[in-house]
Amino acid sequence: MVTLKPFAIYAGADDQTSLIVLAALLVCLIPTTIGALLSAIGIAGMDRLVQRNVLAMSGRAVEAAGDVSTLLLDKTGTITLGNRQAAAFVPVEGVTEADLADAAQLSSLADETPEGRSIVVLAKETYGLRERNQGELTGAAWVEFTAQTRMSGVDLDGRKVRKGATGSVLAWVKERGGRVPEDAAALTDGIAQAGGTPLLVAAEDTAGARVLGVIHLKDVVKEGMRERFEELRRMGIRTVMITGDNPLTAKAIAEEAGVDDFLAEATPEDKMALIKREQAGGKLVAMTGDGTNDAPALAQADVGVAMNTGTSAAKEAGNMVDLDSNPTKLIEIVEIGKQLLITRGALTTFSIANDVAKYFAIIPAMFAVAYPSLDKLNIMGLTSPESAILSAVIFNALIIVALVPLALKGVRYRPASADRMLRRNLGLYGLGGLVAPFIGIKLIDLLLTLIPGIG
């Protein structure tokens, strides 16, 4: 306003008229388009999450989802169906299947995981072992499964039985000076290379500690996961599978599913270390979790999605809560974030191009009186300075109304690299932003000429 006042005096306009003109000029020159649409874009992004039963604690979390470059996905329930079940008992040499089944069932009575319950059922249905419960075994000291020990079992009548991850059980046997049969490694490797999960069963009694055999757990990769990961790869997102399985099993599942990398035999501390390592490299990380052990990692991640069935600590640590408790939804959340990012980029490109074209369209017509040489730039042939300003003000209001539906619906997102999306935005929305003001302002100017006192 201050800088344009001398131009009005130079043009010979009276004070009252010049103030009105300058106020109108300020309104039509302010880049209002993107400023008016940013809130609508953010609200639409959060609304799309709500439609998928995901609650975002803040708009910043939704925006961060669009910038995610590393996705940490739990294997069980996200990449696989999550109904991992015991399929067979494979004893080592010198141990019968019945003895292995008995020890496996006994060591799983304190394991409330689906895998633990399936071991108890398999021992009963396949080997005719009566299903026991913890209450009837007096004097038993139960060892419950935890993410840290990755092992469960029982101490009963001078005998100790353990079942769990290969590394944990082997360490337990070696600590007690026990022996590991030569064929144990071959059995576990064979199951792992087939994509199954091997669990070792060991016991300690008066004869010492020893490995009894292997439990074969089976799970299935969800249909279409390879294609989903390929889409994420085209977006520039690196996927990492997190699993408690041994490296051989993890590698087999990772290759079948098509993920970029995997973290085997992972503990909550390993997750935290991985997130910090990725963030130190300038990457934004997204992950899911449901347990108290996951809370630190959820809080550290840029996008932490807690399951509604999870603990209060996990839900408080994350910045989103999935009411359906579906870990696979993390991929959809990232896609919604990407769509929000692309929509904002597209409309920003349109807004900048629109403002540049608008200035070029109306400024020559407005200042041609003071600077006659500018009349050559009035390629639109606007009727008068008053008509130019009024046409631009009306166009400003109409273009915001026209773009609100696009901001709410979002620009259709197609998996592509950042460079390709930038070229698409510049080509489509940049060109549209340049053309729209010339057509819109000229049409409004023609209509205004029909109004007495303006034309």
The reported pLDDT for the residue numbered 212 is 93
Residue 163 has what pLDDT? 92
Name the band, by pLDDT with cuts 50, 70 and 90, for residue 455.
low
Residues 166-170 have a mean pLDDT of 90
Catalytic residue among 14, 15, 47, 74: 74
- pTM recorded for the entire structure: 0.65
pLDDT band of residue 92 (cuts 50, 70, 90) is very high
Average pLDDT, integer, range 254-260: 90
**Tokens of residue 215, six digits:** 């439990």
Secondary structure element (H or E) that encloses residue 208, with its range: strand 208-218
pLDDT tens-place string over residues 174-204? 999 988 888 888 999 888 888 888 999 999 9
Q: How many Å separate Cα 325 from the centre of its chain?
A: 14
**Residue ranges of domains in the chain, CATH in brackets:** 3-43+335-450 (no CATH), 67-79+222-323 (3.40.50.1000), 83-220 (3.40.1110.10)
Average pLDDT for residues 289-302, to the nearest whole number?
86
Continuous segment of H or E residues that includes residue 306: strand 303-307
Burial (CB < 10 A; 0-12, 13-18, 19+), residue 59, is: middle
Q: What is the pLDDT of residues 320-344, one digit of tens each?
A: 999 988 878 888 888 888 888 888 8
3-7, 178-182, 256-260, 400-404, range with the lowest pLDDT: 3-7
Q: Distance (Å, rounded) from C-alpha 298 to C-alpha 289?
A: 7
**pLDDT at residue 366, rounded to an integer:** 65
* 219 included as an active-site residue: no
Task: Give the tokens for residue 102.
Answer: 């008995």
Distance CA 229, CA 262 (A): 13
DSSP calls for 107-143: HHTT--SHHHHHHHHHHHHHH-PPPP-GGGSTT-EEE
Angle at 165 between CA 163 and CA 166, to 5 degrees: 100
Say which range, 236-245, 279-288, 372-381, has the weakest mean pLDDT. 372-381
